[in-house]
A and B are shown apart, each in its own frame.
Chain A
């Protein structure tokens, strides 16, 4: 079964608004990562948060991690049309595999 599950599946917002995506996972993890994928392109790493961290920032990105609820959220502030993409969370537990969720498709309308 999927380790990571993003929510919502799709999100449509206006430029300048904030976008929030959530990720839930099932087992214990070492870290959780967020990736972005523009249509048909390779995934690009955005941010990594370790299991002992609760919040992390990178530019307009803010990631939170709640290990007690096995969930994470990605907030993109002041969104731009160029943020239109699919966003995936990826978890890695004790094994070597990265497990990606099905992704959230974000559309930022000008």
Chain B
């Protein structure tokens, strides 16, 4: 158990809908990362938050947005869903370490199926 929790575990929805994925980082971790993992694209970095502020952005679509709240939990919002958005969405957290040496602790993921 990594200490990172994600809800829900599974989500089935229809095209055009909007969903919210939730992540609670390990106690004390300030950074939260979101990743999308699909069969054809591998593990793609979406976005990182550090202590409530956006720190880095990766291959995140404009239809997707995220935020990190004062209690450090994070939400990833996916809107106008398309079939191709079906994937595993992972959240990871890390503690601040000097020299970018931190490692990430991954949650169990949310499996999204868009029908």
Interface assignment of A43: CB less than 8 Å from any CB of chain B: yes
Interface membership of A99, Cβ < 8 A:
yes
- Among the listed B45, B88, B105, B108, which residue makes an inter-chain contact with A99, where contact means beta carbons less than 8 Å apart? B45
CA distance A90 to B44 in the complex (A): 11
Query: Interface size on A (CB < 8 Å)?
Result: 25
Listed A/B pairs (13) with beta-carbon separation below 8 Å: A33-B103, A40-B109, A42-B106, A45-B103, A48-B101, A95-B56, A96-B48, A97-B45, A97-B48, A97-B56, A98-B104, A99-B45, A100-B43
The minimal Cβ–Cβ distance linking A6 to chain B, given in whole angstroms, is: 10
CB-CB contacts below 8 Å: A82-104 with B:
88, 90, 92, 95-103
Residue of A nearest to B44 (CB): A100
Partner of A42, one of B90, B101, B103: B90
B22-44 Cβ-contact flags toward A at 8 Å (1 or 0): 00000000000101000000110
Within the assembled complex, what's the spacing in Å between the Cα atoms of A30 and B88? 28
> B-side interface residues toward A, CB under 8 Å?
2, 4, 33, 35, 42-43, 45, 48, 55-56, 58, 88, 90, 92, 99-101, 103-109, 111
Tell whether, in the assembled complex, residue A42 and residue B108 are in contact, meaning their CB atoms are under 8 Å apart. yes
Beyond contacts A90-B104, A100-B43, A102-B42: 15 other A-B pairs, Cβ-Cβ < 8 A, are A31-B101, A35-B104, A40-B88, A40-B111, A42-B2, A42-B106, A42-B108, A43-B92, A43-B106, A44-B106, A45-B104, A48-B101, A97-B48, A98-B45, A99-B45
Closest CB in chain A relative to B38 CB, distance in Å:
12
